[in-house]
Structure 1
Amino acid sequence: MKSTYRQRYRYTPWSAAALALGLVVGLSACGGSKAPAGDGQSGQAAQKTAEAGQEEKVTIEYWQYQYPAKVELIAALIDEFQKKHPNITVKQTNFPYDQYNEKVATLVPAGKGPDIINLYYGWLPKYVSSGYLQPLPESAFSEEQIKKEYFPFVDTAKLNGKYYAIPTAVRTLALFYNKDLFTKAGLDPGKPPATWTELVDTAKKLTQQDKNGQYVVEGLAWQPNAQLHHWYRDALVYQAGGKDISDDRRKILWADSPAGLEAFKYLIDLSLVHKVGTKDFYNDDITAFKKGVAAMNIDGSFQLGGIKKDAPDLKYAIAPLPSYKDKATQVSFWANSITKGVKGKKLEAATEFLKFLTSKEVQEQWVEKVGELPAKREVALQDKYAKDEKLGPFIQQLPYAHAHFFVDEKLERDYFVEAVDQVTLKQVPVEKAYDELVKKTQKLFDDYWAKQDKK
């Protein structure tokens, strides 16, 4: 079901006053009387005010997927924006996550989609190559400005030498853990696991199973199609001493060193060998964590708002991702883009709305209401966030965060999950499943770049 929020410009006493003044000036002119210089200046000012009130109104449409905390915040932000820009009306439209890309593919090419779209950064290559988007106006979002104000990984929004999207907020992965379950297991909640080995040992102590071997409490939530595939590419591989992708974004480097396989095996062994968690326990990882039946979870800062709303009494803490040979975490973001056919007054209005959404004030509201981190360095690194017990562990990892360049986010995720399932459900040797994963992922990149090189 599609939900829509509409805010419209309303006729105000100020516009009525301006109109009345304008009429007075007009009548005086018709009478032929010579007005004093001071009165003439007042009349001109009143006329300008009246003209401003009659300035052409424009309506723009904003799309984002249905994530309650974001939908509610954007609705409030639209009200705030329209008070500052009374001649711009912003209409918000939302779709379920699993329908979002389908709606874009159907409506945007037909010119029936949004003027501004909120999209996952991993979708950008596909959206740009499909002709859905236009580059951001350089007058408002120059490369120099973006590089100066934003964290370096925002460069993943730059394709063919131009930026096609700009984020309000970013998210990193960290370790969520239930302090009550730590205490119950005889563990110190003030000492979360800091290494790969400690994560396994701690998860084993926290895991509870019944007499039939069914999980009662997962030591570590284990959901490959949630955040674990990100954990693998942008954290585990780097932590094991490897690298995700070449600098030119053309080659997957997992198999160029032993690190890729070691990281893949570590992730799978958490469930297959150490038996600290299983796929789809309580439907998914975050549901299990909120209900207190998953003691730890690898997840993103964007979950903070949902936990606060859905599990306000949950006693939990956040820690940086456990490390190995090096420190690393994954970073990602949802960003706003302007669709291809937007021009003229609509483009001006869309640009103003994007400038508003990336302002310091809005980024601070986003932290408080959603839990995602400010995209601008000077905002994120303020003491009130960097020293916060929940936000701090996410923010302190930003200097060594990595953002994978997706050519097809859905297929890359699906290939990863299929490889994991091959090992855990069909007893395929881990080396064979891994080799197939690398080959299939590389083919995606080869096909993508072959098409780009022909343009």
Structure 2
Amino acid sequence: SMIEDEFFPMVGAMREGDSYWALPTAVRSLALFYNKTLFDEAGISGPPETLDELIETAKMLTKTDAAGNLTQVGITAGMNAQDHHWFREVLVRQFGGEPYLDDYRTVNYNSDAGMAAAAFYTGLVNEHKVSAFGFMDEPQAAFKAGRAGMHIDGSFRIGSLNKTRGLKWGVTELPANSDGMRSNYSSYWVNAITTKAEGEKYDAAVKFMQYVTSDEAMQIWLDVVGELPAKPSVGLTEANANDEVFGPFIRGLAYANTTKFANESAQRQILIDMVQRIDIEGQAVADSIAIAAEAEQELLNEYYN
């Protein structure tokens, strides 16, 4: 279809049969932010390209006091921020899995891949000790304060980082797995025409939709607001795709997935609880992920039935 040809793949989340409920206008994706000052201090030449390199790099950026308490984390950690997306749509896939089946109605991360992803994620804290859950409460606060070497966040964070005095940061695509496979998570604002629109109002609405989804409007949206273009024709222009700030996010859209949440905050809480059981109670990853999957499946069943 024309729409599929013109938009990044995540537009599929809006499709029902042969038609679309709405069209994406302002898009967000994830990337790896890093503190250039701390990288220079540690003698690190550039950001990590793979998950293995991520761990090695984080080790070089981690600092503790005499008592062994973390004073600087190599990378932030916390399902309360964007990490629940990194886990679901990126890590689970990179370890060979598929987080959901049946159009996001069936939880599928209670698998070998899901366990490997959860073990990798919690291992940043309990095995490699390059982070701590709840360090400075919010992951982005630690990064803004210059107390974290790396931080995974959304493109919507760029504005506030730019306003943070004295913070020298760079951004790069989320690390690939050892086979070079990358994934990302994208979300977006949509515009749609309601069924109430008739006659002149309908014609005007169509005109507005045509403009707001045009290349010109998306470029303005990127330049002024910092929200990403939903179409490769705008996103992948030489200037935008190679932009040192927006580029990594835009390139990530080419391989991003959009989770269809029934209740995002409740689904996030399930993963916060999963990590807490592993981190604080020492529960086995396999047991904790099974509990999480069951709880999330129950939530989805209630929503869809």
Normalized against structure 2, the TM-score is what? 0.90
Say whether residues 1:147 and 2:1 are aligned partners.
no
Aligned 8 A contact 2:84 2:271 in 1: yes
Number of equivalences: 303
Aligned 8 A contact 1:304 1:370 in 2: no
Q: Which amino acid aligns with 2:257?
A: H
| Distance (whole Å) between structure 2 residues aligned to residue 327 and residue 165 of structure 1 | 27
Superposed CA RMSD in Å reads 2.3
| Distance (whole Å) between structure 2 residues aligned to residue 252 and residue 305 of structure 1 | 34
Which residue of 164, 170, 182 maps to 1:311?
164
Say whether residues 1:391 and 2:250 are aligned partners.
no
Which consecutive residues of structure 1, in runs of 5 or more, have no partner in the other structure? 1-143
| Distance (whole Å) between structure 1 residues aligned to residue 99 and residue 287 of structure 2 | 19
Greater CA drift, 416-425 or 283-292: 283-292
User: Displacement of 1:346 after TM fit?
Assistant: 5.5
Greater CA drift, 172-181 or 356-365: 356-365
User: Displacement of 1:340 after TM fit?
Assistant: 6.9
Where do 1:279-298 residues align within 5 Å? Answer: 279-298=133-152
| Distance (whole Å) between structure 2 residues aligned to residue 425 and residue 355 of structure 1 | 52
| Partner residue in 1 for 2:43 | 186
Question: Bigger relative contact order, structure 1 or 2, given CA contacts below 8 A and separation 6+?
Answer: 2
Which residue of 285, 295, 304 maps to 1:440?
295
User: Displacement of 1:148 after TM fit?
Assistant: 2.5
| Partner residue in 1 for 2:30 | 173
| Distance (whole Å) between structure 2 residues aligned to residue 348 and residue 284 of structure 1 | 46
Q: Which amino acid aligns with 2:38?
A: L
User: Displacement of 1:337 after TM fit?
Assistant: 4.2
User: Displacement of 1:248 after TM fit?
Assistant: 4.0
Say whether residues 1:299 and 2:156 are aligned partners.
no
Aligned 8 A contact 1:422 1:433 in 2: yes
User: Displacement of 1:347 after TM fit?
Assistant: 5.2
1:364 to 1:420, Cα distance in 2 relative to 1, 3 A: same
Q: Give the match's secondary structure for 1:226.
A: coil
Which consecutive residues of structure 2, in runs of 5 or more, have no partner in the other structure? none
Where do 1:30-41 residues align within 5 Å? Answer: none
Which residue of 209, 220, 225 maps to 2:80?
225
| Partner residue in 2 for 1:156 | 13
- Specify the structure having the higher radius of gyration (Cα): 1
1:425 to 1:339, Cα distance in 2 relative to 1, 3 A: farther
User: Displacement of 1:298 after TM fit?
Assistant: 0.9
Which residue of 321, 333, 338 maps to 2:174?
321
User: Displacement of 1:200 after TM fit?
Assistant: 1.2
| Distance (whole Å) between structure 1 residues aligned to residue 299 and residue 174 of structure 2 | 29
| Partner residue in 2 for 1:358 | 213
| Distance (whole Å) between structure 2 residues aligned to residue 163 and residue 226 of structure 1 | 30
Q: Which amino acid aligns with 2:168?
A: K
1:363 to 1:216, Cα distance in 2 relative to 1, 3 A: same
User: Displacement of 1:158 after TM fit?
Assistant: 2.5
Which residue of 189, 199, 202 maps to 1:334?
189
1:345 to 1:240, Cα distance in 2 relative to 1, 3 A: same
1:145 to 1:217, Cα distance in 2 relative to 1, 3 A: same
| Partner residue in 2 for 1:121 | none
Aligned 8 A contact 1:303 1:371 in 2: no
Q: Percent identity?
A: 39
Aligned 8 A contact 2:109 2:293 in 1: yes
